[in-house]
């Protein structure tokens, strides 16, 4: 029987991200920092997978390295997406926390960030709540 995966009852699991847009380089820059309040008994590694929506494919997929820890994995990895500033309003960033498995990698939590709701001219660091369903912030 597999260990139960759940979110801490006292506080929801959250992922810390920094988002910004470089006007000079014409790139969306995303830094995946860490995850807080993840209540897991499992020792499998975790990684974070990013997609820039609505295009969901190899061109927009980014993935962190696997971190083998239980409750508070730290990633500190930065990813870039080339795009015009005017495109930001039509894009969403899907962030999934996944468990590393031999057969099928399972999502532990997810958040979908609407980029038009955040000012990205300056770096924007925030803790985003993770849920099992598609959530939007």
Per-residue pLDDT reduced to its tens digit, 24-34 = 999 999 999 99
- Cα dihedral 30, 85, 57, 117, rounded to 10, equals 70
Average pLDDT value for residue range 39-51: 84
Number of Cβ within 10 Å of residue 112's Cβ equals 18
Q: Is 2.60.40.150 the CATH classification of the domain at 5-128?
A: yes
Cα–Cα distance measured from residue 41 to residue 69, given in angstroms and rounded to the nearest whole number: 10
* pLDDT at residue 8 greater than cutoff 50: no
Q: For 46-87, give the DSSP string.
A: EEEEEEEES--STTT-EEPPPB--SS--EEEEEEEEE--GGG
Per-residue pLDDT reduced to its tens digit, 89-121 = 999 999 999 988 767 766 889 999 999 988 898
């Amino acid at each position: 029987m597999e260990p139960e995966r759940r979110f801490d009852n006292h506080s929801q699991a959250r992922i810390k991200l920094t988002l910004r847009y470089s006007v000079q380089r014409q790139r969306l820059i995303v830094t995946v920092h860490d995850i807080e309040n993840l209540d897991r008994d499992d020792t499998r590694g975790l990684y974070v997978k990013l997609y820039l929506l609505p295009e969901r494919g190899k061109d927009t997929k980014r993935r962190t390295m696997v971190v083998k820890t239980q409750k508070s994995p730290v990633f500190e990895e930065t990813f870039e997406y080339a795009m015009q500033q005017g495109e930001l309003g039509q894009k969403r960033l899907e962030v999934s926390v996944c468990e590393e498995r031999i057969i099928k990698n399972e999502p532990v939590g997810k958040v979908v960030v609407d980029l038009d709701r955040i000012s990205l001219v300056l770096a924007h660091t925030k803790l985003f709540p993770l849920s099992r369903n598609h959530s939007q912030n």
